Chain A
Amino acid sequence: MDPLHQFQIHSLFQIVLGGYDVSFTNSAFYMVVAVAAIYALLVMGMANKSMVPGRLQSLAEMSYEFVANLVRDNAGHDARPYFPFVFAIFMFVLIGNMIGMIPYTFTFTSHIIVTFALAATVFVFVTILALLKHGLHFFTFFMPHGAPVALAPILIPIEVISYVMRPVSLSIRLFANMMAGHTMLKVFAGFTVMMISGLGALGFVTGLVPLAINVALTGFEFLVAFLQAYVFSILTCLYIRDALELH
């Protein structure tokens, strides 16, 4: 009945590496499943390489073109080399979220450490990209163009903080949405179970109300699962654009 039980991590396979416990867990299992599913979609989908695509090939091509358009529209043409990175991010988050919608599975994107590590990867990647591209000129990013120099003592700390907070907001947005949605589904499901066990026959009738809400929430969660993957990759694209253009 504990709605947080679904977020428990338990080890399937004990591994200790350099003093750290890096056991193969249920979370790791679904990460592997997600990677396998993405790879299978693209490899099996494109196996025929047909001129007129079938269903699976259409899906693979659609995901490719969707992310390609995303990168082109939000990060610009120069961001073309980073398309595989954004694609991997988008598919990993999307499939992770979608796998979570299957009952009894584990949603690894509902773990702050996972989303934070992903967001930190984006952050580090984007910062290195900007440093490589612009060198020390990168630090002018923190002083907006045309702002009076007198405001620099205020503006620069604000800009630095907002830049450093990027991975935090990026990771918390995804984690919070996924965790909230899954907890809510469990809470409403719990209401139905409690009504049945507490009210008996009447519980079967009143229990329909949270059940109906749960049905609506499930649909909503699918939207959120897609939307959060989309938002995560769009922000990644915008950060890449910032790194390439420095405003």
Chain B
Amino acid sequence: MPNLLAKGRLARWSGVAGASLVTLTTMAGTVLAAAAEHAPDAAHGGEHASGGLPQLNPANFPTQIFWLALTFGVLYYLMSKKALPRVAEVLEARQERISRDLAKAAQLKEQAEAVLAQVEAALAGARSEAQALIGKASADIEANNQARQAALNADIAERLRTAEASIAAAKEQALTNIRTASTDIVRDITGRLAGVEVDQAQADAAVAAVLEERRG
């Protein structure tokens, strides 16, 4: 316990210091007293010519002890029975008041915190609701977009198909026309050049064979 040691040291040192001081000053005092006594105008030098410390005069001891016992006894009685209980009462009342106020403050703080938690919960609920709404709206938009995209794609495909069909039909028509025309031309040419009357079926087969050859 360093604190206690320090106090012990303090007490010891002040004791040592006091003892040395008292020696020094008693010596100085004796010198001064002697000087005062020898001075011609020493007013009360002779009064205590007996010398020595008044503290060490045993004639004083009974009265000192008697009055110390009396006054200290009265003081102890007054302190322990009257004064100190009163101070303790006031201090306790104050302590009680302070702890009561502190408890009340803590309770109020708890209430405020509960309200705050409630508000925060409501806020969080509203926020998540808003989040859900936003999510739903964007999903709707997305779905709508996709549906429209699909419809558009289908439409485009349909149109492409019709267009392709009509192109194919036109091409077929054109080919048929070409074949018919070629057959006619073949019969005409063979008739004029060779004078051979080629019948329709033969001409058709020849033209088809040539066309087939070309295409391949």
Contacts and interface: CB of A to CB of B under 8 A. Distances in A.
Interface string B167-199: 000000000000000000000000000000000
A31 B67 contact: yes
Contacts of A35: 71-72, 74-75, 78
A13 to B, nearest CB: 10
Interface stretch (B41-49, B113-121, B136-144, B207-215): B41-49
Contacts of B17: 177
Interface residues of B, number: 63
Interface stretch (A20-28, A144-152, A153-161): A20-28
B54 interface: yes
Q: Could you tell me the dominant secondary structure of chain B's interface residues?
A: helix
A8 to B, nearest CB: 5
A2 B80 CA distance: 41
B15 interface: yes
Contacts of B11: 173, 231, 234-235
A85 to B, nearest CB: 7
A46 B79 contact: no
A28 B71 contact: yes
A117 B69 contact: yes
Interface string B24-39: 1110110011011001
A101 interface: no
A117 B59 contact: no
Interface stretch (B85-93, B127-135, B147-155, B157-165): B85-93
Main secondary structure of the interface of A (DSSP, over half): helix
Contacts of B26: 183
A163 to B, nearest CB: 15
A195 interface: no
Nearest to B81: A84
B48 to A, nearest CB: 7
A17 interface: yes
B30 to A, nearest CB: 8
Interface string B1-26: 00110011011001101110110111
Given A22-B62, A23-B63, A118 B29 contact: no
Contact of B29 (A20, A28, A108, A187): A187
12 contacts: A9-B54, A9-B60, A34-B71, A49-B93, A64-B87, A83-B84, A112-B56, A179-B55, A180-B22, A184-B25, A231-B7, A238-B8
